[in-house]
Structure 1
Amino acid sequence: MAGAVVLLTAAISLLLTAFAWPSVRSSVHDVPIAVAGPAAAVEQLSGALNQRLPDAFEITEVADTAAAEQLIRDREVYGAIDVSSGTPQVITASAASAAVAQTLQSVATGLSQAQGNSTAQGTGTAQGTGTAQSAVRDLAALPADDPRGAGLAAGALPLVMGGLLAALLLTRLVRGSARRVTGALAFAITGGLAVAAILQFWFGSLNGSYPANAGAIALSIAAIALSILGLESLLGYAGFGLGGVAMMLIGNPLSGTATAPEMLPGWSGTLGQLLPPGAGGQLLRSTAFFDGGGATHSVIVLVSWLALGVGLCLVGGLRARLPKTHTVRPVSVA
């Protein structure tokens, strides 16, 4: 009994750490944004941002508004500050990350206050008098039915659970590596169609092409299910446990779906994008709100995990077919 209590205490502590640590320690650091406008104004604004929020942004300087908007659509940056017209204009993309969009809106408020104070000092009036609000424009907004992106953020866990359940049931009910791989791929297709339909047509959490969204979800489910199946085929139940821990306790909390990978502490955001849950969440954002922009890295990660899972299943199947050697002991004949 004492051993069971110690084991359960360690398990609940591990679960809390895995799911709460990324959220508690999340902050804005090295978030890529663009600053557009004349070189002198861009340099001055970049210096002010670095002084106001050190290490918060990774700034790309561009010449005009069109270049900044293209970077946002290609998902190379999360937003932009445009000083081409003299008055700072903040361009956000809440569909890429609502948390980063809120941060940029706060930056817009700070810019407005700074500009108002500078104007007041220049005219000799009281500070803050006549402060002009910097314009904020959302280039890629979340759907009106789900303006906070709750459905997209909550959808990460069901994808992981779906892949785990598929691997578990196929392992228990289906014999043969080829049949298991076929079953996992078939479930990924039907599951992708079902989940995309719920998120897009019922909850209103997705825009864009329904087939593209369903394909992104199906690829995510297939990558998770097949990688776990491959580990189980090679290592047995130990492989299933290893795959489940990697996807549930590492991949899901570090996916950055609720905020942004750059807001997770340290190296965890980068690690999360190398696992199927994180790559799948970013791919779904790309297909739903950016016409596939910035999807290349996510597709490569998911296809790599899928191919690894299929390869491990084939190796495990071939090993199971090899004839087992038996040691023959000499028997003395009376």
Structure 2
Amino acid sequence: MSAATAPSAAGRRTLAVLALIPVVAALALAVFAWPAARIAPRDLPIGVAGPAAAADAVERQLGRHEGAFEIHRYEDAEAARTAIEDRDVYGAVVVTPRGTELLTASAGSPVVAGLLREAVAAQAPAGTPVPVTDVVAAPAGDPRGAVLGASLLPLAIVGAATGAATVLLGLRGVRAVVTLVGAAALAGLVGAALADSWLGALTGDWWAEAGVLGLTVLAIGSAFAGFATLLGKAGFGLAATLTILLGNAFSGMSSAPQLLPTGVGALGQWLPPGAGGSALRSVSAFDGAAAGGPLLVLSLWAVAGLTVTAFGARRRAEAAPATEPAPVPVG
């Protein structure tokens, strides 16, 4: 390339960057802002308990909000409490001889708990208070769930850094796997020490919380390492899109997956941040109830990423054509 054409090539690259940055910024803002601007209940599972006639009336009232609620019927308040503790429903309306009562679980989602209070109060006769019982209360150290929701992005960043460093440092095979697993385990211990022991935002079994935090970091780190092993530098971009951009925006941790636009919340639960957040909420406040599905998702991401990282580079090396040695001149 001549000296005269060098500035032109550099100028084209500059223009390409200037054109790309606004597109990326718009995409990132849209991905995060769009779900937040469309928060509303969509097939939100809630319970209704009490005598059949009274419960039918409550169900009809709730049914006026078409597509908002997924109603589960229970015989009495005790059965509804059990369903809330098992994370089958977010709350329940209980009809008793004394009137209507509301059971919530702010530990499951403070936003949903507030939404249910507003919905039930709006349907009650004017001037009639509706008693509210918080069956599974949010921790005193995080009453609004802000710490739990904010913890996903740091976990994603730590996982991304671990996976990227493993690849860029040239670690392969067993060494790469040991690095990813060891770093994730240490991150889980540190995360539990900060969120549970220091901030009091988590109040469940300490080791279970550390395990979920570590598995989340491992799933994200393995995704970065695995995609980069398969696709090279482009793999970093794909992993970042799935685990940092879409994973955090669609996790539903600041509200609930059922409050996000249709399909978005479900997709978020198949990505590591959403699955990790749901599992962490379960082990922290609900004694592990409903944690099986999210833990399975995290395990699948981790196993797939570790497998590709361990064997992908070796297979690529074996598939590369062998170069013949240069002939040695004679005489």
Aligned partner (choices 256, 276, 283) of residue 280 of structure 1: 276
Aligned partner (choices 186, 192, 201) of residue 205 of structure 1: 201
Root-mean-square deviation (CA, aligned residues, Å) is 1.9
Would the aligned equivalents of 1:166 and 1:184 in 2 still touch at CA under 8 Å? yes
Residues 327/318 of structure 1: CA separation in 2 closer, same or farther (3 Å cut): closer
Residues 170/64 of structure 1: CA separation in 2 closer, same or farther (3 Å cut): same
Aligned partner (choices 64, 67, 76) of residue 64 of structure 1: 76
Would the aligned equivalents of 2:42 and 2:262 in 1 still touch at CA under 8 Å? no
Aligned partner (choices 129, 134, 152) of residue 133 of structure 1: 129
Hey, what does 1:173 align to over in structure 2? 169
Would the aligned equivalents of 2:51 and 2:95 in 1 still touch at CA under 8 Å? yes
TM-superposed CA distance for 1:147, in Å, is 1.1
**TM-score, length-scaled by structure 2:** 0.91
* Equivalent AA in structure 2 for residue 237 of structure 1: K
Distance 1:325 1:290 in 2: 55
1:109-165 C-alpha deviation (Å, 9 max, x unpaired): 2233x2x4xxxxxxxxxxxxxx23110010111111221111101001111111101
Would the aligned equivalents of 1:22 and 1:264 in 2 still touch at CA under 8 Å? yes
1:183-239 C-alpha deviation (Å, 9 max, x unpaired): 111011110010111111222111111111111111111111112211111211111
Would the aligned equivalents of 1:30 and 1:55 in 2 still touch at CA under 8 Å? yes
1:35-63 C-alpha deviation (Å, 9 max, x unpaired): 00111111111001112x22211100111
* Residue correspondence of structure 1 range 76-91 to structure 2 within 5 A: 76-91=88-103
Hey, what does 1:8 align to over in structure 2? 21
Residues 9/87 of structure 1: CA separation in 2 closer, same or farther (3 Å cut): same
Aligned partner (choices 213, 220, 226) of residue 224 of structure 1: 220
Hey, what does 2:8 align to over in structure 1? none
Hey, what does 2:86 align to over in structure 1? 74
Name which of structure 1's ranges 257-266 and 319-328 shifts more when overlaid on structure 2: 319-328
TM-superposed CA distance for 1:328, in Å, is 6.3
Hey, what does 1:23 align to over in structure 2? 36
Would the aligned equivalents of 1:255 and 1:272 in 2 still touch at CA under 8 Å? yes
Query: Unaligned regions of 5+ residues in structure 2, if any?
Result: 1-13
* Equivalent AA in structure 1 for residue 308 of structure 2: L
Aligned partner (choices 151, 162, 167) of residue 155 of structure 1: 151
Would the aligned equivalents of 2:177 and 2:310 in 1 still touch at CA under 8 Å? no
Distance 2:207 2:180 in 1: 19
Q: How many percent identity over aligned positions?
A: 38
1:215 aligns with 2:227: no
1:195 aligns with 2:191: yes
1:252 aligns with 2:248: yes
TM-superposed CA distance for 1:321, in Å, is 4.3
* Equivalent AA in structure 2 for residue 64 of structure 1: D
Would the aligned equivalents of 1:108 and 1:136 in 2 still touch at CA under 8 Å? no
The number of residue pairs the alignment matches comes to 315
Query: Unaligned regions of 5+ residues in structure 1, if any?
Result: 117-130
* Equivalent AA in structure 2 for residue 156 of structure 1: L
Local SS of the residue matching 2:200: coil
1:101 aligns with 2:113: yes
TM-superposed CA distance for 1:265, in Å, is 0.6
* Equivalent AA in structure 2 for residue 159 of structure 1: L
Distance 2:61 2:171 in 1: 63
